[in-house]
Amino acid sequence: MLKKVLVTGGCGFIGSHTVDKLLNQGHEVIVVDNLSNGELTNIDYERVNYFYCDVGGRSFEQVVYATRPEYIIHLAEQVTYPQLPETMEEDCNANISNSVNVIKVAKKFGVQKVLFASSMDVYSKNQNSEKLGPSGLAKLTGELYLQFAGELDGLDYTILRFSEVYGQRDLRGTVSHSLDQTNKDLTLDHRGNHEFVYVEDVVDATLETLDKRSQQTVCWR
């Protein structure tokens, strides 16, 4: 059954691959992106309904009101480079407020389901510590707010915890950086504490959850 799906961050790395797959399946696709971490050339502009706006502002509510999507895939994330302590705090606060706004708007306009892109950052990297970094804190807060909305209002959702995703259009990731260092002298990190998952596998698994009424958390490693 064809669906009307809104993708936040749809011009970014994972978002643009998600948009491609949705279009190939014949769905109607709405893309919301402020292009802070994405490129309009990443998507087939003529085949989507594109809106330039921030998901944390009133303009996002106006987009949802005008387009009435059945599903929202929330992939938008504010990440400032270089990642300094002050920028990480700012990004954390922005990502929390953005996620909360997406969930509130989804409830207000009767969206059937929200797919929320979280990450493995919600787990502490130190087994002896419960402390999370700014990214993990923002993602976990979004997860908890979504779970609260599900319990209180019956909003259906799936939380998607991604490992390190790699693939085409990933310009800032670890794998892309490593490829750029080909034939150069390297200092290797022996700890090996990263796990990687290919972007197309992430997209396939994400879209499989659209039809599954679940209110669940799914991890891809």
How far is CA 123 from its chain centroid? 17
The candidate with the shortest Cα–Cα distance to 70, out of 9, 113, 7, is 113
Predicted confidence at residue 170, as pLDDT, reads: 86
CA atoms within 13 A on the CB side of 204: 5
Which pair of tokens denotes residue 80?
């400032």
Lowest mean pLDDT among 33-42, 140-149, 176-185: 176-185
What is the CATH number that goes with domain 4-175+186-220? 3.40.50.720
Q: Could you please report the per-residue DSSP string of 45-78? A: GGGSEEE---TTSHHHHHHHHHH--SEEEE----
How many CB atoms sit inside 10 A of residue 10's CB?
Answer: 29
Predicted confidence at residue 122, as pLDDT, reads: 77
The percent of residues in the chain predicted with pLDDT above 90, rounded, is 58
The candidate with the shortest Cα–Cα distance to 159, out of 197, 117, 121, is 117
Predicted confidence at residue 82, as pLDDT, reads: 65
Average pLDDT over residues 90-108: 93
pLDDT, tens only, 47-91? 999 999 999 999 999 999 999 999 999 999 887 766 677 778 888
Residue 102 has pLDDT above 60, yes or no: yes
Residue 115 has pLDDT above 70, yes or no: yes
Residue 30 has pLDDT above 70, yes or no: yes
Q: Residue ranges of the domains in the chain?
A: 4-175+186-220
Are 29 and 52 spatial neighbours (Cβ–Cβ below 8 Å)? Answer: no
The candidate with the shortest Cα–Cα distance to 106, out of 160, 69, 75, is 69
Residue 191 has pLDDT above 60, yes or no: no
Residue 142 has pLDDT above 50, yes or no: yes
Distance CA 187, CA 138 (A): 31
Q: Which residue has the higher pLDDT, 8 or 138?
A: 8
